[in-house]
Amino acid sequence: MKKVLLIVLLFSFTQGIFSQEERVNPFSIGAGPEWNMDSRHLFAFGAVLGLTYNLPRNFAVGFDFSASSNFRDTHVFEPDLILRYYFFRPHSGLFVQTDFGAFFMFEEDGTTSLIEFGLRGGYRHLLGNRFFLEPYGRLGFPFAFGLGLIAGVRF
C-alpha cells in the first residue's frame, strides 16, 4: 500500500511541472495531393508525404516522399531531403525550402534514375497548436513545377 501511495504522490507532483511549460511541437507530419510536371507528356497527379523537425530559430529539416503518375505510362517516385526557412515567425507562416534527392521515373521502356533538386515556397497556416494547412509551389530539375496542398499535424 505504501508503494502505491508513493507512486500516486510522485505522479501528482510531476504533472504540475509539465503543466507550467509551454508545449513545443518539434515534429510534424503531413500529406496531400499535388499537380505537377513529373511526366514527359502532359501533366501528372500525385501524393506527397512529409516529415519535418524544427531546428532553433526559423529552420526545419526533414524528408519528403512524392509519388506521381500521368495514369498512362509514366510513374515517378521522389524521396528528398529538405531544408526549410520560415521568414517571419518560427515554424509557421511564409517559407522557402530546398529539396535534394532522387528522381525515379518508371516507364514502359524502363527506369530512369536522376538526381533531383528544387526550390519550394509556401505558407504554413496553423489551425490551433497541432494542425496545419500548407499550400505550396515548387520548381526544379528534372521536373518543371508542382503545386500542392498538405494537411498535417505537429507533435
What residue spans define the domains of the chain?
A: 25-154
Tell whether the torsion through CA atoms of 21, 60, 91 and 125 is positive or negative.
Answer: negative
What element of type H or E holds 84?
strand 75-86
For residue 12, the Cα-to-chain-centroid distance in whole angstroms is 37
Dihedral of the alpha carbons of 55, 100, 78, 152, in degrees to the nearest 10: 20
Task: List average pLDDT for each run of 10 residues in the chain, which is 155 residues long.
Answer: 59 48 78 93 93 95 97 94 95 97 95 97 96 97 95 96
Mean pLDDT of the chain: 89
Q: pLDDT tens, 85-126?
A: 999 988 999 999 999 999 999 999 999 999 999 999 999 999
Note the pTM of the prediction, 2 decimals.
0.82
Residue with cell 495514369: 71
pLDDT score, position 20: 43
Cis peptide preceding 142, ω within 30 of 0? yes
**CA atoms within 13 A of residue 154's CA, in its CB half-sphere:** 20
CATH 2.40.160.20 fits 25-154, yes or no: yes
pLDDT score, position 118: 97
